[in-house]
Chains A and B, each alone.
Chain A
């Protein structure tokens, strides 16, 4: 239940404060590279203001012996630099935080070996309006994490999504 809380509460919080912000809501199907392996689908929800954006992405994968869940929150100052082909482009620069939990076990009867880590740093957002209010978006977080090895403290995460703004 603990892992479900961010998945439920953060989108709920965003929908609740939307009228107060007079913002649009973006909901989309995300694909994330957070596992550094196969692409995994996720949920992407964002509050879209005139010149700002709050974005939340929840993604995860599970097999009988393995799971990997991640949640990413980003805050962006946004602007409209122009059009690409027929669609308007929206760009944003800001900061983000990613929290990931993983578990692995050799056999289904074993206990999971669990670990988690948090990554934070600058992030970029860019979206292209494919059709009216249908967007393709890309968000990238350039983070640092807690690691003893200097060359391992950097971790980026890219998330692409397609969704609807309303």
Chain B
């Protein structure tokens, strides 16, 4: 139980860190600000496979594994999520990622998770992707 609390605490401390996002042939870091009907979120990723950590003040914590697809400036994500209440959910997201400089993109995204324990979670995310 203490370990579970410790993991949750560490994850909560990571929330302001935003997200790590890998472009197809390079690495990037995305620092995002989540706006939410359900408070959110931090994302970590490698080569367009994103791991999401979603925290909700009243409804607990969930983690997800998301495949992010890019088509021009459009992005879409599809994946699975796991909630701390032992529920499995589908994740879907769509958004835009605008290139400003060679190494800097802005990203806006809508997310939704749909869980087997009768819980749904939807939120928005804006952020900057810094590529190197």
Contacts and interface: CB of A to CB of B under 8 A. Distances in A.
A141 to B, nearest CB: 8
B93 to A, nearest CB: 7
Nearest to B67: A84
A122 B67 CA distance: 23
Contacts of B69: 81-84, 89, 91
B76 interface: yes
Nearest to A158: B120
Given A84-B69, A142-B37, A158-B122, A122 B90 contact: no
A52 interface: no
A53 B94 CA distance: 15
A154 B53 CA distance: 23
B124 interface: yes
A124 B114 contact: no
A37 interface: yes
A81 B75 contact: yes
Interface string A76-117: 000111111000010111000000000000000000000000
Interface string B74-101: 1111100000000000111110000000
Interface in B39-72: 67, 69-71
Nearest to B112: A140
Contacts of B71: 79-82
Contacts of B38: 156
A10 interface: no
A69 interface: no
Contacts of B75: 81
B76 A126 contact: yes
A89 B76 contact: yes
Contact of B112 (A38, A136, A156): A156
B119 interface: yes
A126 B92 CA distance: 6
B112 to A, nearest CB: 3
A81 B76 contact: yes
A147 B80 CA distance: 33
B114 A33 contact: yes
The 6 nearest A-B residue pairs measured at CB: A140-B112, A91-B76, A81-B69, A33-B120, A126-B92, A138-B92
